[in-house]
Amino acid sequence: MKILVCVKRVIDYNVRVQINRQGDGVITDGVKMSVNPFDEIAVEEALQIRDRGDADEIVAVSIGTSASQQQLRTALAMGADRAILVESDDEIQPLAAARVFHKLVEKEQPGLVFLGKQAIDDDSNQTGQMLAALWQRPQATSASSFELNGETARVTREVDAGLEIIDIDLPAVVTVDLRLNEPRFVKMPDIMKAKRKPLETIALSELGIDAPPALETKNYEPPPQRQAGIMVETVDELIAALRDRGVL
Amino acid sequence: MTRVLLIAEHDGAELNLSTAKSMSCASQIGETDVAVFSNGADSLATSAATLAGAARVLHASRPENAKPLAAVLAPQIAKLAADYTHVLAPSTTFGKDVLPRVAALLGAPQVSDIMSVESERSYKRPIYAGNVIVQVSVPDNCTVCGTVRIASFKAAATDGNAEITAVSPDADLPAHTRYIDLQAQVSERPDLQSAMRVVSGGRGVGSAENFEIIYGLADKLSAAVGASRAAVDAGYVPNDMQIGQTGKIIAPDLYIAVGISGAIQHVTGIKDAGTIVAINKDAEAPIFALADFGLVGDLFSIVPDLEKKLG
Ligand SMILES: Cc1cc2nc3c(=O)[nH]c(=O)nc-3n(C[C@H](O)[C@H](O)[C@H](O)COP(=O)(O)OP(=O)(O)OC[C@H]3O[C@@H](n4cnc5c(N)ncnc54)[C@H](O)[C@@H]3O)c2cc1C
């Protein structure tokens, strides 16, 4: 079985994101970029399935500018076998991304597609579900445990009420949550080895995809700031302050 | 004409409060019908009909709708959507799962986590863990699909009396996805997403046993209990208590953060709280920059003391 893993280049989660002067985007120049943390977990899960002997090839795929090669190299260094970059300089929204991944799925015929449940830039949490819809296959979102049983998989999903367990037939789309696994650390020799692994680049325009309707985004602003509060010295002072505010 | 279809969330017995909150958002956009997917349970449709602002309730009852499987619900919702300009669902794990699947079937983009309605097709939403707010507009040539950030809206009143219509959208339902079980925490405490008061513990609490002091304070305040990701990862508490970017977004009147440092991913889940109290032994902890009241010290002496003195 082949597994496709989708990897997105995003601003590193430790960076304090700044809005640009025009208010029409965020500053990315000179900012540390990384693999979306959820996607690292997706890569790790695919690798663990291969390491158990249940998959024979892991293909990491990304959509973005040529800079996204970096993130694909990270996936290759973690252990993916090859990578595909669908290159585009345009902003790619979830529905467009899902159409691209659907095209790749038709070509590659994977048994499983793993994605992060959301990307920490736009926080949309849509692409996996949209891909599953276009592919007309099962989706298991927010997975915190994954167990393969031949042609089906049992997935535990983190939901608001607790843990939901579902069975899905393969092929299927799985979006992963943070507690699914701990991604491995990449070692220096792996980075060297990754440089020799195949990374294919396809121009988005070559895929012949209908551009879907897209959202227009404007007015980037900081969130409303909370008033700085006061420090109290004792528990009695705290209780008095809360009573004063009428919240106790 | 603007017509909104709101997908109700429920647990098979009762509507989730997220439905009433999403109703408030939907009403700001236009005339709203509420769709209830269930297996029987007519009382769900009856309670949806009481939501103030609901014009009609569409009740799609069939055995396959017993559990909220996105792959089963999405084709039915997409069918019903033909009569609507907008399809909304709460931005809970339920809505996040099902609505993008609907949007893709409709060939429409989705607006996730609507915080405010700027116009019929234009909304504010958070990105970058709530560090940036943007305004997004949906083009005219497609259905508006959106999930509602429920912490941004008050629950609609329940004094309505909408007409209930049985519907059976004709769609092929897949058998490739099967519901097995829900492992839910049974708790006598208030529900985290609707509680007026929440007491949360972080890594500083140190263990599952130590969390008893958090529960003790919460019970004294009739509060729900939440946690940081670090506390969930460490196994002190179950996942459904996680607050933040990838957990629950809440807006209680009072939030007490105990032994939580205040990482941006956590803080984004509590920004709409009325009053925030932080208890932390590190005076430099970022949580103090956001707290209305901060108390520096050892949580193991402060929290029991606070519980006792609340009488
Ligand atoms: C993609 C991504 C998504 C994330 N999503 C979330 C999310 O949804 N929610 C979330 O919470 N986090 C999330 N995180 C994790 C987040 O970045 C932080 O790691 C986490 O919130 C830290 O939890 P904490 O404050 O409990 O632990 P720490 O940061 O370790 O803080 C513990 C605090 O306890 C204090 N303390 C220790 N002992 C005592 C004592 N005896 N008395 C008083 N104070 C004490 C310390 O001073 C410290 O400030 C996410 C991270 C990533 C990368």
Per-residue pLDDT at A228 exceeds 80: no
CA of B232 to the centre of ligand 1 (A): 10
pLDDT at position A192, please? 95
Q: Which CATH architecture has domain B3-166?
A: 3-Layer(aba) Sandwich (3.40)
| Residue A21 DSSP symbol | T
Interface of A with B in 143-162 (CB under 8 A): 144, 154, 157-162
For range B286-305, the mean pLDDT: 97
Beta bridge mates, B97: none
Distance to chain B for A123, nearest Cα, Å: 6
Look at residue A244 and tell me if it is in a domain. Answer: no
Concatenated DSSP letters for B182-239?
EEE---SSPPTTT-SEEEEE-GGG-STTTHHHHHHHHHHTT-EEEE-HHHHHTTSS-G
Query: Sorting pLDDT into bands at 50, 70 and 90, what band is B274?
Result: very high
Look at residue A130 and tell me if it is in a domain. Answer: yes
Look at residue A79 and tell me if it is in a domain. Answer: yes
For range B197-205, the mean pLDDT: 98
Residues of B in contact with A221 (CB under 8 A): 132-134
The whole-chain average pLDDT of chain A stands at 97
Cis peptide before B304 (omega within 30 of 0): no
Per-residue pLDDT at A131 exceeds 90: yes
Residues of B in contact with A151 (CB under 8 A): none
Look at residue A221 and tell me if it is in a domain. Answer: no
Domain count, chain A: 1
pLDDT at position B311, please? 81
CA of B200 to the centre of ligand 1 (A): 11
Look at residue A206 and tell me if it is in a domain. Answer: yes
Query: Sorting pLDDT into bands at 50, 70 and 90, what band is A226?
Result: confident
How many angstroms separate the CA atoms of B5 and B280, rounded? 45
- Percent of chain A at pLDDT exceeding 70: 100
- pLDDT one-digit tens code per residue, B209-241: 999 999 999 999 999 999 999 999 999 999 999
Q: Which of B69, B94, B256 is nearest to B176 (CA)?
A: B69
Look at residue A228 and tell me if it is in a domain. Answer: no
pLDDT at position B44, please? 98
Look at residue A232 and tell me if it is in a domain. Answer: no
- pLDDT one-digit tens code per residue, A5-14: 999 999 999 9
**pTM given for the model:** 0.97
Superfamily of domain B197-309, CATH level 4? TPP-binding domain (3.40.50.1220)
Residues of A in contact with B271 (CB under 8 A): 223-224, 226
pLDDT at position B148, please? 98
Per-residue pLDDT at B109 exceeds 80: yes
ipTM surpassing 0.90: yes
pLDDT at position B186, please? 81
Interface of A with B in 1-20 (CB under 8 A): 11, 13, 16-17, 19
Beta bridge mates, B10: B15
- pLDDT one-digit tens code per residue, B138-157: 999 999 999 999 999 999 99
Look at residue A236 and tell me if it is in a domain. Answer: no
For range B98-107, the mean pLDDT: 98
Ordered by start, the domain boundaries in chain B are 3-166, 197-309
Task: Check if the beta carbon of residue B265 is closer than 8 Å to that of residue B176.
Answer: no
Per-residue pLDDT at B309 exceeds 90: yes
pLDDT at position A98, please? 98
Range of the domain at A157: 2-216
Query: Sorting pLDDT into bands at 50, 70 and 90, what band is B164?
Result: very high
The CATH number given to whatever domain includes residue A110 is: 3.40.50.620
Residue closest via CA to ligand 1's atom 48 equals B261
Tally the residues of chain B: 311
